[in-house]
Chain A
Amino acid sequence: MAVVYEKSKGLTDAELHYCPGCHHGIIHKLVAESLVELGLLDGAIGICPVGCSVFAYNYFSCDMLEASHGRAPAVATGIKRTHPDQAVFTYQGDGDLASIGAAEIVHAAMRGEKFTTIFVNNAIYGMTGGQMAPTTLIGQKATTCQSGRTVEQAGMPIRVAEMLSTLDGCVYAERVCVTDIANINKAKRAIKKAFEKQMNREGFTFVEVLSTCPTNWGMTPLKAVQWLKDNMIPYYPLGVIKDKGLEV
């Protein structure tokens, strides 16, 4: 019998702990497949954040390090600078990257650190139970803005991919989502491109993946996908935001 599909060798057999309808599982799979297809898995070193994907080190089959909250880009810097020929990536959520780790991601991009960041943006703090994130949309409810986020209280949500794109050291930034097959394919192309550019030593590469959080959004998985399309994509537009050398 011909094998038409099998789980990526880039993933372990550990059972994922993610909630039903959460997109982390799909995003893990795309990162793992990309590493395998590019022949990078054996030398790859990944860094997990603090947040829902804190246990991602159990799921990726490459060597992994767990960083303190927000510091994954600094940890990755220490690794990549001493292991310049190996693929290094951080996998971070929006609380980790856009809030407590804002300084670390900005400066890693500024220095043009040659690693790839997979930024999973679900517009909320997931693991701690649904608090407001810097990426929470105006009007979106969270446990620390129970009537919805307001501009007066918390300002406008941060568009990280656009912000990092202003830095010369960031050579590639794309925003994708994984709500359907077409978008999953686009997301994988973006992740592979980011790793290719990393290995070409072009500079810092960044893929923002919009993701659902049905549990903390208080929605079914299907409604969450629709909410992402109706609310997140208009504020966080999909597509290539920066590809150095190409006009975007």
Chain B
Amino acid sequence: MEKELWKGNEAIAEAAIRAGCDCFFGYPITPQSEVPEYMSAHLPKAGGVFVQSESELAAINMVYGAAGAGMRAMTSSSSPGVSLKQEGITYLAGAELPAVIINCMRGGPGLGTIQPAQGDYYQATRGGGNGDYRTVVLAPSNVQETVDFVQEAFDIADQYRNPVMVLCDGLIGQMMEPIEWHPVKKRALPPKDWAACGRKGRDHHNIITSIFIAAEECSDHNDHLTAKYAEMEKNEVRWEEVQCEDAEIVITAYGTPARIALTALDTLRAEGIKAGLFRPITLWPFPEKALHTLAEQDHVKAFVDVEMSTTGQMLDDVRLAVEGRKPIRYLGRAGGVMPTVEEMIDLVKSALKEVK
């Protein structure tokens, strides 16, 4: 198949159109503005709807309306804008509406910087809005994966009636890479017979709501959602292991740092150091069991977690999975500065020295 050179953000938009996205609602923010720009030019030609909203809050609520009426709906933003969308995401989760949300992460907190970062891991995986809910979080580490995941995200959302987030960073959004538009596997999806799209002869009215005012009803609803999240944990967890079979030290990283880690691995292996990479692809559900199993292997002596976050956000999940079986070292850079290959190599070497 022929390769084409695409900019990450434009590829995200094109992937959504190819996945049958009916409508896109968005608001400009760097470094993701090429998504709404591309959508405004191309989605209407494909028969879809584009609206530039007055705010991120309005955009996610337009998604709520369209999704509630049975449409494939998407919005995209970057960190400060995704904070504003949190209200809508918890309502989507509560009302069980499928939607795709792109977060092209930039540095924070607050306005931070427009450069790439990974400081929204907690927000994405813990649920930045109120209440008990989960969103599937797909974390691509290059443009090819991004376009594949965006297309699949619509199916995952429809399958579970749940919002799905594609969490990339500004680097993926802004860089150009050769990609293939290979066919993405389609899932068998349930009919949207729940949609509030007008009765048109139906013998009952459909209601989309997240309010269950009686305590028992709300409790039952929470149990129902939790059972659904358990299904997602069972079916949707994804990760990649690179040279972990004999690894003495394993780097854990997702997105852009995982990509940088591949270069570090080459150098380390060339020097005879048995290093591997464990890359979570779904951040929720987190590949906890797989990482735990790896931590229990005798050949694994230590872990090095690398993130574009100084507080160590995925580090919490790594610790929970490793369960103290092996020591964990941390390398974090935030505010738009990326961890370097040299820094990774140095930390791997010093961590190995400590355990050997």
In A18-71, the 8 Å CB interface with B consists of 41-45, 47, 54-55, 57-58, 60-68, 71
Contact with A along B69-80 (1 / 0, CB 8 A): 101010000000
Kindly state the separation between the CA atoms of A140 and B208 in the bound complex, as whole angstroms: 36
Given known contacts A57-B207, A79-B69, A83-B198, is B57 in contact with A71 (CB within 8 Å)?
Answer: yes
Given known contacts A71-B57, A103-B55, A103-B58, is B209 in contact with A78 (CB within 8 Å)?
Answer: no
Which A residue's beta carbon lies closest to that of B62? A78
**CB of B260 within 8 A of chain A?**
no
**CB of A184 within 8 A of chain B?**
no
User: A77 near B65 (CB under 8 angstroms)?
Assistant: yes
Q: How far is the CB of B61 from chain A (nearest CB, A)?
A: 4
User: A78 near B199 (CB under 8 angstroms)?
Assistant: no
Kindly state the separation between the CA atoms of A47 and B61 in the bound complex, as whole angstroms: 12
Q: Please name all residues of chain B whose beta carbon is closer than 8 Å to the beta carbon of A65 when the two chains form the complex.
A: 64-65, 68-69, 95, 196, 207-209
Q: Please name all residues of chain B whose beta carbon is closer than 8 Å to the beta carbon of A67 when the two chains form the complex.
A: 61, 64-65
In B266-282, the 8 Å CB interface with A consists of none
User: B23 near A78 (CB under 8 angstroms)?
Assistant: yes
User: B198 near A42 (CB under 8 angstroms)?
Assistant: yes
User: A104 near B208 (CB under 8 angstroms)?
Assistant: no
Q: How far is the CB of B88 from chain A (nearest CB, A)?
A: 7
Among A54, A63, A104, which residue has its beta carbon within 8 angstroms of that of B207? A63
Kindly state the separation between the CA atoms of A111 and B53 in the bound complex, as whole angstroms: 10
User: A79 near B55 (CB under 8 angstroms)?
Assistant: no
Q: How far is the CB of B337 from chain A (nearest CB, A)?
A: 35
Q: Give how many A-B residue pairs fall within 8 Å (CB-CB).
A: 136
Q: Please name all residues of chain A whose beta carbon is closer than 8 Å to the beta carbon of B49 when the two chains form the complex.
A: 81-82
User: B64 near A64 (CB under 8 angstroms)?
Assistant: no
**CB of B87 within 8 A of chain A?**
yes
Contact with B along A123-155 (1 / 0, CB 8 A): 000000000000000000000000000000000
Q: How many residues in A have their beta carbons less than 8 Å from beta carbons of B?
A: 36
Among A57, A79, A86, which residue has its beta carbon within 8 angstroms of that of B209? A57
In B9-31, the 8 Å CB interface with A consists of 22-23, 25
User: A45 near B73 (CB under 8 angstroms)?
Assistant: no
**CB of B184 within 8 A of chain A?**
no
Q: How far is the CB of A82 from chain B (nearest CB, A)?
A: 5
Kindly state the separation between the CA atoms of A216 and B190 in the bound complex, as whole angstroms: 46
Q: Please name all residues of chain A whose beta carbon is closer than 8 Å to the beta carbon of B65 when the two chains form the complex.
A: 47, 65, 67, 74-79
User: B205 near A64 (CB under 8 angstroms)?
Assistant: yes
Q: Please name all residues of chain B whose beta carbon is closer than 8 Å to the beta carbon of A68 when the two chains form the complex.
A: 61, 64, 87-88, 91
**CB of A186 within 8 A of chain B?**
no
Kindly state the separation between the CA atoms of A128 and B55 in the bound complex, as whole angstroms: 27
Most B C-beta atoms less than 10 A away, residue of A12, A47, A60, A106: A47
User: B69 near A104 (CB under 8 angstroms)?
Assistant: no
Contact with A along B318-348 (1 / 0, CB 8 A): 0000000000000000000000000000000
Among B88, B195, B200, which residue has its beta carbon within 8 angstroms of that of A43? B200
15 cross-chain CB contacts under 8 A: A43-B200, A45-B69, A45-B197, A63-B195, A63-B206, A64-B206, A64-B209, A65-B95, A67-B65, A71-B57, A71-B58, A75-B64, A77-B65, A78-B63, A78-B71
Contact residues of B with A, CB < 8 Å? Answer: 22-23, 25, 49, 51, 53-55, 57-59, 61-69, 71, 73, 87-88, 91, 95, 195-201, 205-211, 213
Contact residues of A with B, CB < 8 Å? Answer: 12, 41-45, 47, 54-55, 57-58, 60-68, 71, 74-79, 81-83, 86, 103-104, 106-107, 111
